[in-house]
Each structure stands twice: as structure tokens, then as C-alpha cells.
Structure 1
Amino acid sequence: MKKIRILQIVRKSEGGIKKHLLSLVRLLDKNRYEVAVLCSFDEKTQEYLKRLGIAVYNVGIGDGLSLKKDYRAIRFVQKAIYEFKPDIVHMHGAKASFVGRIACFAMPVKTVVTVHNFANYDNMNFYKKKLLLSLTKVLDKKTHQFIAVSKALKEDLVVNQKIEKNKIKVVYNCIDTSFYEETTLNLKEKFNLPQDSFIVGSIARLIPAKGVQDLIKAASILKNINAYFFVAGDGPFKEELQKMIESLNLKDRFFLLGYRNDIPSFLRNLDLFVLPSHEEGFGISVIEALNEGISVIATKVGGIPEIIQDGVEGILVEKKNPEELANAIEKILKDEKLRKNMSVKGKESAKKYSCDKMTEQIQQIYEALKGR
């Protein structure tokens, strides 16, 4: 049987999109599919893909709109399509799907777009935004299939981008620890913390939309609680967040650890996981925390309420509300029975997010497209 050739296109990222793509290409049926990835991942990740037998095309796809850079990227994608000859081009994220779909516009390939996050035009001027929206409208009509990683994202595509419901399938992300390092991380020992203290943690790219600033403010409210706060992740907002930590006299209680590739080990140190995002397409770090039996507090945004039932696996709070967040943290830390109940419910709930299930659903989409 002739293999179906799939070209995956993704821009550089270190969060949920990257995790999703690596899980997918690792688990796709090698007897049925031949896969290539067009990306600008770091050298270590590209070598990992090549060891899986995947062809890698290294190209940078930048943020925003840049006629010169985007034209160069579009031409490179077209060259990769001519060379690899895919049956299906599967694009991940807004910018990769913008560049990729223009490149595919007049080519005899089927196109799939996975939407991982809500559209954000905050940093774009009026004319660029208008151009991008106009082009996206045309590209949406030509796209054969959309995948949304949450029901909330599907609803957003229907309401705000006017995409037909029957062109969108919801496929949840999965828990995949195979590409993490396993370490013997002991935060209490490493930071010389009291053994009877609580550890509250988060995993986030350090940008304003992830809401780490709200967690810092919540920590400043909780000065009488024997708790220490750790955030795994890096990003352009790090320096500003560090200044906030120091200005609130939290430098001995609140620590920014930077990027880490030992997330399961990090999570096992926690008594409580907090995701204070202002927007979130799905929230893969939440299911990673549930999988480790960690109670969760998260904002009720995007796809989060599809993962967390308020009061069952965790507590949901309003975004941008440090006082409510602080109250929820105090409630869980002071109630050991509640934490244990949430831990049990969370671990059970996490079983739903199987990588085999995710991959099978996407393979069904490929098969249906190939049959058209």
C-alpha cells in the first residue's frame, strides 16, 4: 500500500504546540504515513526528529507580518512541497498556517490547520491587521479541515472567523512524558526550605498573557502562609517579573527557574499547581499536573473548564484577580483532605488524554481527506 505523505509545518515554539507536534509525529503509523517536518526547532529537537526517520526542512517563520521575510518563508515552503510531494500539508498555529496556506494555495494538496490558541492582534497596526484578516478569510475558505484543541477554540472559530462547524473537529492534546528528562530534583533541599513548608508551582512562558504577575501578587497577599512559589519557564517578560518579585519583597519566596526539560520531576515537588492565564487554548500543563496527582487552581478561560471541574479536580478562578487566586491557594493548602480528594480525581481524569487516542483521531482525519 502506498504511504500517505504528510508535511507538518510549525514555527519555533517551546510550549504546547511543540509538545503536540512531537507526540503526533512520534506515534503516527510508520507503515501508513511518511512524514516530513518544516520547522526552526533547535538542533537537538531536529536530530530527534531525524532519528525517528522524519525528513526535516529547517526554515524560520517569524511573528507578525513582514512582506520580505514571509515571502522568503512562503517560497521555501513551496520548494519543500515540490521536493517532498505531500498528499496532505498539516499546519500548526496561526503564523505557520498563514504562510503555509499561501504556499499551498494553487497546489494539488489537502490542507489541515490545527488551531492551538486564540487569535491575537494586539501588537499589530490597523493596516497590517486588516490585510491579515482579509487574507485569512480567503485562506479559511480554501482550507480542507480545521482541528481545534478545545471546544472553546472551535466555538471561537465558528463565531469570530465564520468557519463552518462541519469543517472543524475537536482533538484534545495529550500527556506525553517521553521527551522529558528524568531528574532527582528536590526543591526544598536545593533552596534550603523548611520541610513543613508548601510548594506552589506553575509552568508558563513568561509573557503577560500567562498571568504570572497575578500569581506574584497573590503570593504577596499570602505572606502568613508557609508557602514558596516556583515558576518553570522562560520568556521576554522575565526581567519585569523579577523586578516585581523584588519590589514586593518576595525574592526569598518566589523563584523563576527558567526553561526546564524535567517537568514531571518538577511537578512531583509541588503541593499545588497554579495556571493563572488570561487566555489559554487548552492548557497542556494542567493535564500534566493532574497526571502527577497535583491539585490545580486555574483561571476559567478558553479550554481550561473542559479539563477542570470546579471543586472536583481543582478550583477555577476569574482571570486577572490576584485576591481570588490567593483565597483559592489558601483554601487548598489549609485542607489536606481536599488536596487528597482532588489528587485522586485528577489522576483519574488525566487518563482521558491519551496520546494514542489523539493520534488515532488525527489519522482518521488524514484518511478521510485522502479519500476525498
Structure 2
Amino acid sequence: MRIVHVVEPFASGVVTFVKSLVEHLPEDYHIVIHGERPEVMERAEVKKLFPPSQVKFIHWKSAQRGLHLVKDTRALFELYTILKRFRNVDAVHLHSSKSGFLGRLVCRWLNIKQVIYTPNGAPFLVKDSRVKRAVYKQLELIGNSFGGKVVCVSASEAEAYRNLGIQATYINNGTSSVKPVRNADYNQEKFTIAFSGRILAQKNPKRFNQIAEHFLLYPHVEFVWIGDGADRGVLTSPNIRITGWLLEDDVKRELSKASLYLSTADYEGLSFGVLDAMALSKPLILSNCIGNKDIIRYGLNGDLYDSIEQACTQILYYINNPFMLEAMGSYSKSLCSTEFNAASSAGNYRIAYAY
């Protein structure tokens, strides 16, 4: 099977998603048409993460983040020129909202029928602007009229699309089992609360900072943000350590040292940071939002929270009852293998490509 992936944000979680599909579908050939986010990672570095024999990369030079009529029109026609060469492939998989909108329009022009759009975080769930939400909703509705199947990465994300009037199904994101990786400097006396991802408004670093400030009088409690981003300056609490962008093994090393995983996101698709933490046997304290709510099994692998005070209470529970970390973490790990498994996820996408 020959599969074309169209990826505007060639960085962070979307890269993890496409890389997992490529690695778990070794019998197939993948063509990755991609943009670039050099502030996160140069495309040459991203490409090194993929098995070279299975993948052909094509740089989508005009693709960029944000809405811009002139630049997006240029990107549209560049994508048309590229996809015109591959109209006889078995499937086109569009990743993220920008690729989903432009890609579905181009596929309609080229009469490509087997098209899948995976939002990886519905853009109309943004909370910082009512106008943005309205614009993104209209763009999703227009994009849906171009055709293709909407396949979300979690049940709650698919429900959000159906509530918008768009038929959608879902295939859970998945991760692979990993062994804990710890340096010699690992300090077992530290109680470390970690998050992994870009520092941007969607992840609500302000809320992360406010939670951290509640624990300034606890010298053994440390907060770690694994990643970087434009809103880095929001994380001002002195008990927060920002790692900057790390390679995959180093991310897992940081997660291995964590006592528990905290998400403050306003919405998610289904976070790979959370899934990696689960695979490393970490209990979870997650904001009660789309994407996050699909992962928590109350009293078994963690909790959801609706307020900063509630999150702090949950963290204090684990600080005062450290024996619960292992029990909850163990259930997180087993849940990954049964419900959030990378091989199963890739197999389900292969079925979706064929029908």
C-alpha cells in the first residue's frame, strides 16, 4: 500500500503520530509532504527519526502556521502541484487542521477518493477567543463539504465533531511499551511533577505556573515542563524547571524520573505526552477536557480536575500517600497495552485506508 501523509506542523505530537504509523506499517510505503517548524526542530533533524527505506519526504515550502489568505493560497496551489503526481496512491492521510482544509480541497479537485483527515486537536475548541472559535467552526464545516473521512484520535474529540454536525469516527492514539531510563543523578527524594509538550496557550502554562506556586513551601517538590515554546515566559515560578526541546530518549528519561504527570491543557486530541507517561507507569492528574477525559479511569490510574484547588488537593494526596504512585502507575501501564497500543492503532488506520 502507498500512503501519502500531508503534514503542515512537522513537529511535536504530529511527528510522533506519523512516525508511529510508519514504524508499525513496515510493509507499506509512505510519502510525507511536510511543512517546517524550525523554531521547534529543523526538518532535516525530524527526517532522521524515520526509517529511510520506507519514506519519501517532500518539502511543502509554502505551508505555515496560522491563517493568512495570500500565504495559504500559495500553499494550496503548491500542494496541488505535489499531489497531482500521486493521484494513484492508495490513500491520502491529512494531519492537523491546516493540512485537512487545504488537502481535502486539493483531493476534491484531483478526484482522489480515499482521503482521511485526522485533526489531532480540534481547532474550534480554542478558548482564548470566541471569534476564533466561530471562524474555525466554519472552516471545519466548509472543509468537510470537500469530502474525506474525519478520523479523530479520541472518542471525545470525535464527539465534538459530531456535535458540530460533522460525521466522525475515532481511532485512539497509541504508544509502545518502554523501559524506564534514569541517569545516575536521579534523586529519589524529589517529588517531581512533569508535563511534556509545547509551551503555548492550548496547554495553559499559566495554570501550570499557578499550581506550581501553591507548592513553593515544599522544597522537595519540583515541577518540570519538558519542551519549549513561545509562552515560555509565563512559567515564572522558581520551582519550575524548563528542559527545552529534547530528543525522544531524553524526553523519556525526564518522564522516568517523574513521580506523576500533570496536564493543564485546555483541550487535546489524545496527548502522546500523557501516553508516554502511562507507558512509564506514571499516575495522571489531568485537566477535565476533551482528549484527557478519555484516558482517566477514576481511582485506578489518576484523576481529572476542574479547578486549580482541586489539582493541588490531588497532588497533595500523592505526596502524603506515596505508596499509591506504584499502584496507579501500574494500571496506567496496563491500560496502554490494552486500549492505547501503537500497533493496534496503526492496524486500524490501515483498515481505514483500504475502505
CA contact (8 A) 2:174 2:341 kept: yes
Q: Per the alignment, do residues 331 and 134 of structure 1 end up closer, same or farther by CA in structure 2, a change over 3 Å counting? A: closer
Matched, 1:163 2:151: no
Q: Which residue of the partner structure matches residue 40 of structure 2?
A: none
Matched, 1:98 2:84: no
CA contact (8 A) 2:197 2:227 kept: yes
Matched, 1:367 2:354: yes
Partner Cα distance (2:315, 2:350) in 1: 41
Q: Per the alignment, do residues 38 and 350 of structure 1 end up closer, same or farther by CA in structure 2, a change over 3 Å counting? A: same
CA contact (8 A) 1:174 1:354 kept: yes
Matched, 1:15 2:12: yes
CA contact (8 A) 2:151 2:170 kept: yes
In the alignment, which of 44, 57, 72 is matched to residue 74 of structure 2? 72
Alpha-carbon distance, 1:16 to partner: 2.0
Alpha-carbon distance, 1:219 to partner: 2.1
Partner Cα distance (1:138, 1:212) in 2: 32
CA contact (8 A) 1:185 1:266 kept: no
Uncovered stretches (5+) of structure 1, i.e. residues with no partner:
190-194
Q: Which residue of the partner structure matches residue 307 of structure 1?
A: 295
Larger Rg: 1
Q: Which residue of the partner structure matches residue 198 of structure 1?
A: 191
Matched, 1:258 2:244: yes
Alpha-carbon distance, 1:108 to partner: 2.2
CA contact (8 A) 1:36 1:56 kept: yes
Map of 1:346-361 to 2, 5 A cutoff?
346-352=332-338, 353-361=340-348
Partner AA of 1:260 in structure 2: L
CA contact (8 A) 1:87 1:109 kept: no
Matched, 1:207 2:213: no
CA contact (8 A) 1:209 1:278 kept: yes
Q: Which residue of the partner structure matches residue 147 of structure 1?
A: 151
Q: Which residue of the partner structure matches residue 54 of structure 1?
A: 55
Uncovered stretches (5+) of structure 2, i.e. residues with no partner:
37-42
Alpha-carbon distance, 1:236 to partner: 0.3
CA deviation profile, 1:260-319 (whole Å, cap 9, x unmatched): 12222111111121111121221221121111111211111112121111221012111x
Partner AA of 1:9 in structure 2: V
Partner Cα distance (2:111, 2:231) in 1: 42
Partner AA of 1:35 in structure 2: H
Matched, 1:39 2:43: no
CA contact (8 A) 2:283 2:302 kept: yes
Q: Which residue of the partner structure matches residue 84 of structure 2?
A: 82
Q: Which residue of the partner structure matches residue 239 of structure 1?
A: 233
Q: Per the alignment, do residues 308 and 124 of structure 1 end up closer, same or farther by CA in structure 2, a change over 3 Å counting? A: closer
CA deviation profile, 1:241-260 (whole Å, cap 9, x unmatched): 2xx32xxxx2xx22111111
How many residue pairs match? The answer is 341
Partner AA of 1:234 in structure 2: D
TM-score of the pair, normalised by structure 2: 0.87
Using the aligned pairs only, state the percent identity: 19
